[in-house]
């Protein structure tokens, strides 16, 4: 059974930083492209960042490029999202997702397993 467990969300003031993590079990993590998505209240889930199996390909949404960094540690089956210079508009539930492909993917349909989400709240 494939499981994704996120952690590290919380409340932070605007301009602050947070790092969220996602541990994957039940599949060969090193062969899985990984992504982070977010969903704000009343809005659709949107792409944030993606990373290929080796970390050699990275994609970011325009809204977070230059502020967020996605990375992975294949030895720990873990993907990270470092979030700096946070803004109130970054407030959302953040989800990690695992793809059966090795590529970095930016669409929700490319991912077959999802975590339960972790809340990130940025106060002004």
Handedness of CA 57, 63, 65, 69 (dihedral sign): negative
pLDDT digits (tens, 9 = 90+) for 62-95: 999 999 999 999 999 999 999 999 999 999 999 9
Confidence tier at 98 by pLDDT (50, 70, 90): very high
CB-CB contact of 50 with 64 (8 Å):
no
pLDDT in the model for residue 46? 98
pLDDT in the model for residue 89? 97
Give the up-direction half-sphere exposure of residue 94: CA atoms within 13 A in the CB hemisphere. Answer: 31
**Mean pLDDT of all residues belonging to the chain:** 97
């Amino acid at each position: 059974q494939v499981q994704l467990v996120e952690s590290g969300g919380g409340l932070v003031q605007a301009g602050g930083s947070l790092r969220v993590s996602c541990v994957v079990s039940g599949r060969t993590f090193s062969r899985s492209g990984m992504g982070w998505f977010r969903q704000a209240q009343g809005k659709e889930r949107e792409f944030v960042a993606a990373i290929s199996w080796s970390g050699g390909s990275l994609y970011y949404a325009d809204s977070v490029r230059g502020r967020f960094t996605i990375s992975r540690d294949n030895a720990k089956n873990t993907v990270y999202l470092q979030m700096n210079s946070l803004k109130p508009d970054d407030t959302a539930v953040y989800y990690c997702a695992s793809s059966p492909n090795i590529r970095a993917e930016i669409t929700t349909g490319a991912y077959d397993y999802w975590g339960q989400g972790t809340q990130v709240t940025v106060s002004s």
